[in-house]
Amino acid sequence: MSLAAICRALDFVEANLREEIAVADMADAAGYSLYHFCRTFNGLVHHTPYDYLMRRRLSESARELVETDKRIIDIAFDYRFNSPETYSRAFKRMFGTQPSQWKEHGRLDRRFLLPRLTPEHLEHVNEGDYLKPVLEERDAFCVAGVMTLVEDGGEIISRLWEVLAREVEGIEDAVYYGITWYPSGWEESGVFYMAGVEVEAVNDVNLGLVVKSIPPLKCARFVHKGSHDDLRLTLDYIYQTWLPKSGERLAYPLEVVSYGADMSVAWRNAELEVYIPIE
Amino acid sequence: MEPKIVEKDQIILVGFSFYGDPFSESGGWTEENEIGRLWRRFEAFMIGNAGRIKHIKDPMVGYEVHVWSEETAAKGHSDVFAGMAVEKLEDVPMEVLVKILPPVTYAVFTLKGAQAITDWTKMVYEEWLPGSGYTPAYNYNIQRYDQRYKGVDQLDESEMEVHVPVKKAGDVSSGDL
pLDDT for A103 equals 87
pLDDT for A118 equals 94
Gyration radius from chain A CA atoms: 21
Sign of CA dihedral A38, A44, A48, A51: negative
Closest Cα partner for A206 from A197, A219, A217, A216?
Answer: A197
ipTM of the complex: 0.89
Q: Does A247 contact B at CB distance below 8 Å?
A: yes
Q: Does B150 contact A at CB distance below 8 Å?
A: no
Higher pLDDT, A153 or B127: B127
* Residue A227: pLDDT band with limits 50, 70, 90: confident
Distance of residue B27 Cα from the nearest chain A Cα, in angstroms:
5
CA distance linking residue B108 with residue B106, whole number of Å: 6
Average pLDDT of the segment spanning A159-180: 84
Q: Does A131 contact B at CB distance below 8 Å?
A: yes
B128-168 per-position pLDDT tens digit = 999 999 999 999 999 999 999 998 888 899 999 999 999 99
SS3 assignment, position B42: helix
Q: What is the mean pLDDT of chain A?
A: 89
pLDDT for A169 equals 74
Are A36 and B120 in contact (CB < 8 Å)? yes
Boundaries of every domain in chain A: 3-122, 134-277
Q: Which of A48, A131, A245 to mutate to test the interface with B (most CBs of B within 10 A)?
A: A48
Q: Which of A38, A41, A53 to mutate to test the interface with B (most CBs of B within 10 A)?
A: A38
CA distance linking residue B168 with residue B35, whole number of Å: 31
* Residue B177: pLDDT band with limits 50, 70, 90: very low
Q: Does B81 contact A at CB distance below 8 Å?
A: no
Quick one: A245 exposed, middle or buried, by C-beta within 10 A (0-12, 13-18, 19+)? Answer: middle
In a domain, B173, yes or no: no
Q: Are B61 and B148 in contact (CB under 8 A)?
A: no
Q: A with B: how many residue pairs have Cβ under 8 Å apart?
A: 72
* Residue A85: pLDDT band with limits 50, 70, 90: very high
Are A38 and B75 in contact (CB < 8 Å)? no
Highest mean pLDDT, choosing among A78-92, A124-138, A219-233, A247-261: A78-92
Q: Which of residues 184-243 of A touch B (CB under 8 A)?
A: 241-242
CATH number at residue B43: 3.20.80.10
pLDDT at B68 over 60: yes
Average pLDDT of the segment spanning A144-163: 87
Higher pLDDT, A158 or A84: A84
pLDDT at A77 over 60: yes
**Ramachandran angles phi, psi of A175, nearest 5°:** -105, 125
A51-64 per-position pLDDT tens digit = 999 999 999 999 99
Chain B contact set for A41 (CB, 8 A): 23
Chain A contact set for B109 (CB, 8 A): none
Distance of residue A142 Cα from the nearest chain B Cα, in angstroms:
31
Q: Which of residues 91-130 of A touch B (CB under 8 A)?
A: none
In a domain, B175, yes or no: no
CA distance linking residue A275 with residue A256, whole number of Å: 5
Average pLDDT of the segment spanning A19-34: 97
Q: Does A41 contact B at CB distance below 8 Å?
A: yes
B13-36 per-position pLDDT tens digit = 999 999 999 999 865 445 689 999
* Residue A155: pLDDT band with limits 50, 70, 90: confident
Comparing alpha-carbon positions, the chain B residue that sits nearest to A2 is B118
Average pLDDT of the segment spanning B45-54: 92
pLDDT at B109 over 60: yes
* Residue A107: pLDDT band with limits 50, 70, 90: confident
Distance of residue B175 Cα from the nearest chain A Cα, in angstroms:
22
| CATH number for the segment(s) A3-122 | 1.10.10.60
For domain A134-277, give the fold: Multidrug-efflux Transporter 1 Regulator Bmrr; Chain A (3.20.80)
Chain A contact set for B72 (CB, 8 A): 24, 34
pLDDT for B31 equals 62
For chain B, the domain total comes to 1
Chain A contact set for B121 (CB, 8 A): 33-36
Q: Are A185 and A149 in contact (CB under 8 A)?
A: no
Are A35 and B66 in contact (CB < 8 Å)? yes
Q: Does A39 contact B at CB distance below 8 Å?
A: yes
Higher pLDDT, A228 or B90: B90
pLDDT at B175 over 60: no
Higher pLDDT, A194 or A268: A194
Comparing alpha-carbon positions, the chain B residue that sits nearest to A25 is B73
Mean pLDDT is lowest, of A124-133, A247-256, B1-10, for A124-133
Average pLDDT of the segment spanning A159-172: 82
In a domain, B177, yes or no: no
pLDDT for A261 equals 79
pLDDT for A271 equals 80
pLDDT for A188 equals 84
Domain span holding position B13 = 4-168
Q: Which of B23, B30, B152 to mutate to test the interface with A (most CBs of A within 10 A)?
A: B23
pLDDT for A130 equals 62
Chain B contact set for A50 (CB, 8 A): 21, 74-77
